[in-house]
Structure 1
Amino acid sequence: MTDLQAIVDDIHRELAPRFGEGKVADYIPQLARVDPKQFGMAVVTVDGAVHLAGEAEKAFSIQSISKVFTLTIALGKHGEAIWNRVGREPSGSAFNSIVQLEHEHGKPRNPFINAGAIAITDLVLAGHTPKEAIGEVLRFMRFLADEEDIVIDRDVAQSEQATGYRNFALANFMRSFEKLSHPVEHVLGVYFHQCAIAMSCRQLARAGLFLAASGTNPLTGHRVVSHMRARRINALMLTCGHYDGSGDFAYHVGLPGKSGVGGGILAVAPGKASVAVWSPGLNRNGNSLLGSIALEMLANRTGWSVFAA
């Protein structure tokens, strides 16, 4: 029987000499202040066992990992109609590319690049004020993690609002192609706040557990999404969850995953566990450098992979 706690402890110990490697997301001033020499890891299995290492209880800005959950909300509201607004293909370009968006007439390649996530946020806004939409996303995260103390880091949200020029450009570009239904300021207000949600590795792994259990929270029995929808969200995470580093992540780790420039990664081992890692230093593709390595080590030592025979 696999001793998951021993594996998680070993990964933490072996990576400790490398803590601080990579480059923090310095284009967001508040994230530039984060100490890069931090590392946390949490594995929550479908039977409810929790395995932690390092700073797994310290909250960090989940950033683009939030896109998995807003996609889930948008699918619940609009169903398959969302694919009229955003595609399902890997980008092959930087997460904030404008060139690709222009080439494809304002339709983002997938829901996990910035333009695609902004389009999804526009769909989440339907029928809501921005404040109501932000509240809906936050309540969903609290519900999934089963913790009411999850909050939005207002300093990070304000930092992104003040410096998110590229995101404003993407949103205005999509608006010019009539791909957004709401005012750009409203959409981006929600988007910046969802990205600024602060969670620990343990909370994040718990929130993603429904994707490891065919759409049902295995600890409560509550169905979050259908089996087919969970499978499809996982498929998008595998092919698009790490921007133009998605193929490399699939090659090395072999699990659906979604990264964020705050240094977090949520990974899903279907039928087995939900995993969250956090290490603020990023690689050249904007994904956690040591987080990616930690997940590769975990996959190798457990045999977890969607490609396993």
Structure 2
Amino acid sequence: MTPHNLQTIVDDIAAEMAQHTLRGKVADYIPPLACVSPDHFGITIIDRKGDVFSAGDADKAFSIQSISKVFALTMALGSVGDSLWARVGREPSGSGFNSIVQLEWEKGIPRNPFINAGAIVVADVLLAGYQPKEVIGEFLRFLHMVTGDNTITIDKAVAQSEQDTGFGNFALANYMRAFKNIHNPVEKALGIYFHICALSMNCQQLAMAGRYLMCGGRRGPNTQDTIISRQRTRRILALMMMCGHYDGSGEFAYRVGLPGKSGVGGGILAIVPGIASIAVWSPGLNTTGNSKLGTIALEHLVKRTGWSVFRADK
């Protein structure tokens, strides 16, 4: 795929998405997200060489929400390794991202680190021995390091809004605390969780942030600067494929065929191992809480490029 072809493809996709009238419904349970226009669409592809191909609103910042769980998971695995899996599972949930039902049946162990309950456990793991401000600062430093961009920030208004309206997440955390799967004060673990979800990025920054997952755990293809091991990278990508779109993960794998992680801010990070890191953003969500146009755009991209990991000709 030549650079000229890739730029043509993203331009074509952005133009086509602009014509869609059924754009989904923006998330309204977090007030700042309810104010975002569903008319936006952005896409960025960063290939293995570091070339950037963007179209639409790729330079407009948005709240990445649950996409940040990928980066928090990376940090938690770096901190405690595979012992993390004693406290959170690795299976698809089949339920909504904020469901409490499975926690009762499974004695406070969340199904995976990408549903809310699992990400709250990850936040609790990161908190061990530290204060929330230290963890949040380290999280930002990690993003600055993998992107090479020190301008990335947390939207404090979004974080405060999540704190003010996150009653369901307080219920999840307290329920897991009852099963002794939250070790720190609930308010502190949730403070980290809310701030991590309030990370503000644009498509270009998000695609750059996913580059280490595209490069087998290295920050770039021509460096030995390793973020995580190749084996751990493969496992994170496997979790993204199985669990990255909540109870819509199977449909996303069927239609797109790439490891991906969505957020209710309308963003999706998708990885083509060894080839590309892709970020799309369109705020309107489908019925499973994933970007409606973002999913359609990625499906079109895969058809044009043949990038699905399920290619029959491999």
Preserved CA contact (<8 Å) 2:215 2:221: no
Structure 1 outlier segments of 4+, above 6 Å? none
Q: Which amino acid aligns with 2:102?
A: Q
In the alignment, is residue 286 of structure 1 matched against residue 289 of structure 2?
Answer: yes
Provide the alpha-carbon RMSD of the alignment: 1.0
Which residue in 2 is equivalent to 1:187?
A: 189
Alpha-carbon separation, structure 2, partners of 1:262 and 1:132? 25
Q: Deviations over 1:236-261 (max 9, x none)?
A: 00000000000000000000000000
Residue 29 of structure 2: aligned partner:
27
Deviation (angstroms), 1:72? 0.1
CA apart distance, 1:82? 0.1
Residue number among 263, 266, 276 corresponding to 2:266 in the alignment:
263
| Of 86, 97, 100, the match for 1:98 | 100
TM superposition shift of 1:219: 5.6
Structure 1 portions without partners, runs of 5+: none
Contact 2:44 2:52 survives alignment (8 Å): yes
Q: Normalised by the size of structure 2, how large is the TM-score?
A: 0.97
Match of 1:248 in 2: 251
1:29–1:159 Cα contact (<8 Å) kept? yes
Q: Percent identity?
A: 63
Residue of structure 1 equivalent to 2:234: 231
- C-alpha distance 166-126 of structure 1, shift in aligned 2 (>3 A): same
Q: CA deviation at 1:145?
A: 1.1
1:78 deviates by 0.2
Counterparts of 1:30 and 1:16 in 2: how far apart (Å)?
A: 23
Deviations 1:19-41 (A, max 9, x none): 67101110111111111110110
Distance 2:215 2:105 in 1: 38
* Contact 1:8/1:41 (<8 A) preserved: yes
Distance 2:219 2:163 in 1: 34
- Alpha-carbon deviation of 1:291? 0.3
**Structure 2: gaps of 5 or more residues:** none
Q: 1:121, CA displacement in angstroms? A: 0.7
How many pairs were matched up?
Answer: 309
Which of 133, 142, 145 is residue 143 of structure 1 equivalent to?
145
Aligned to 2:41: 39
Question: Which residue of structure 2 lines up, in the alignment, with residue 109 of structure 1?
Answer: 111
2:13 to 11, 14, 17: 11
CA distance in 2, matches of 1:162, 1:220: 45
> Is it true that 1:77 corresponds to 2:57 in the alignment?
no
- Quick one: distance in 2 between partners of 1:220 and 1:300? 29
Cα deviation for residue 267 of structure 1 reads: 0.2
Q: Which residue number in structure 2 is paired with residue 160 of structure 1?
A: 162
